[in-house]
Amino acid sequence: MRVIRTVDELRREVGEARRSGQRVGFVPTMGALHEGHLSLVSAARAASGVVVVSLFVNPTQFNDQADLAAYPRDEERDAALAAGAGADILFAPGVTEMYPDGYATSVHVRGVSEPLEGAHRGASHFDGVATVVTKLLVAVAPDVAWFGQKDAQQVAVVRRLVTDLGLPVRIETAPTVREPDGLAMSSRNMRLTAADRPRALALKAGLDAVAEAVASGADPRGAEAHGVDVMRERGVEPEYLALVDPGSFAPATDLALPSLAVVAAKVGDVRLIDNLPICPQPHTEEPS
């Protein structure tokens, strides 16, 4: 696996592969790789001739500078894991490579970026995500880019920008990878204290409670309220727990259509997110 640090070198390397007829798969990451990331690399490996993994802690998507400073960084470890999962190229640029002096452009995606994560983290969060993903997609020019389902709203934002900007790339997702006890794998999990680690399971418990309530015939808002109650019983107050349309992230109103339960909460000092697809519920006829 080659480690590349400049866009020019990356384009030369990928260009040679493309001229030889190989398909290019791409997995963007901020490092601190775990099995969720590696499942994306493996999926890209199975479908591509060349696999590029990016490693860049993007400062523009952090609304909390303390969170940025605390984000785990270990390039040597990440490089070894990426290579073991099948990556051919690790693109690990510095901040000035991605945002050189005088940089003055950002990408803003209206609508889907505004609720939930956008409301709680501020508009600059998804502006930072959309901008860096656009820059990476332009630099790599992949046939397919792979994202994890855990970051569902981010994926929806990326799909919107790819469609609106006409970028020639297909966006694929892979299911959320979980720890044996159900906690969604996240680079932030390693920051949970021993006392907070069991409490983090409240997020999955809340999502499961929403799914159970929907299956029992609850309406969307009632199902949400049940999930919040379950989380509070476990000592965790959600920032949000909502049933949404998986494309627009507007509140779900018709459970005969696919929906997505999404949750965010701070457990100790660590902010976690998770989500769970909810199967459509058939309409029931009122008795005559």
- What tokens does 91 get? 């693109």
Question: Pairing between strand 270-278 and 259-267?
Answer: antiparallel
Answer yes or no: is 64 a known binding residue: no
* Distance (Å) of CA 2 to CA 54, 58, 133, 204, 276: 12, 21, 21, 38, 36
The rounded distance, in Å, linking the Cα atoms of 89 and 54 is: 8
User: Is 150 labelled a binding residue?
Assistant: yes
Give me the DSSP letters along 5-19: --HHHHHHHHHHHHH
The span from the CA of 241 to the CA of 243, in Å, is 7
Q: Is 153 annotated as a binding residue?
A: no
CB-CB contact of 45 with 24 (8 Å) = no
Return the ∠ at Cα 282 (arms to 280 and 283), rounded to 5°. 130
206 is in an annotated binding site: no
Q: Is 32 annotated as a binding residue?
A: yes
State CA 51 to chain mean position distance.
19
Has 37 been labeled as part of a binding site? yes
Give yes or no: 37 in active site.
yes
> Residue 61 annotated as binding?
yes
Buried-state track 48-80, b at ≥16 Cβ within 10 A, e below 16: bebbbbbbbbbebbbeeeeeeeebeeeeeebbe
Classify 129 as helix, strand or coil.
Answer: helix
Q: Is 186 annotated as a binding residue?
A: yes
The pair of structure tokens assigned to 155 is: 């994926």
Is 98 annotated in a binding site? The answer is no
Q: State the catalytic residue, choosing from 37, 108, 226, 283.
A: 37
Q: Please check if 177 is assigned to a binding site.
A: yes
Is residue 148 part of an annotated ligand binding site? yes
Residue list for the binding site = 30-37, 61, 148-151, 154, 177, 185-188
- Active centre residues (catalytic): 37
Residue list for the binding site for beta-alanine = 61
Residue list for the binding site for ATP = 30-37, 148-151, 177, 185-188
Residue list for the binding site for (R)-pantoate = 61, 154
